């Protein structure tokens, strides 16, 4: 995923990435977890965020654990 965000807003941004499971039997999707990445996070999400800030426009692959 690539986003173009002005630098003045980077300290206020949070990305919430939700993962959902959808069956063909219903029109409903169930969220099975989410990850929040940004400057107001901690641990690995904050580490990933800081790596992205150090290397703008360079893809940063990072595994995250889903949380409910």
| pLDDT recorded at residue 9 | 92
What band does 22 get if pLDDT is binned at 50, 70 and 90?
A: confident
- Within a domain: 23: no
Q: How far apart are the first and last CA of the chain?
A: 22
- Within a domain: 65: yes
Q: What is the pLDDT of residues 24-52, one digit of tens each?
A: 777 778 899 999 999 999 999 999 999 99
- Within a domain: 41: yes
Q: What is the pTM of this model?
A: 0.78
| Torsion, CA 22, CA 24, CA 25, CA 31, rounded to 10 | 0
Instruction: Tally the domains of the chain.
Output: 1
Classified as helix, coil or strand, 39 is: coil
The residue range of the domain holding 67 is: 1-18+28-68
Q: What are phi and psi of 8, to 5 degrees?
A: -65, -20
């Amino acid at each position: 995923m690539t986003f173009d965000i002005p630098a003045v807003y980077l300290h206020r941004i949070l990305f919430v990435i939700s993962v959902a499971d959808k069956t063909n039997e219903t029109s409903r999707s169930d969220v099975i977890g989410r990850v929040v990445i940004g400057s107001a996070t901690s641990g690995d999400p904050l580490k990933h965020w800081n790596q992205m800030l150090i290397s703008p426009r360079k893809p940063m692959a990072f595994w995250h654990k889903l949380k409910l």
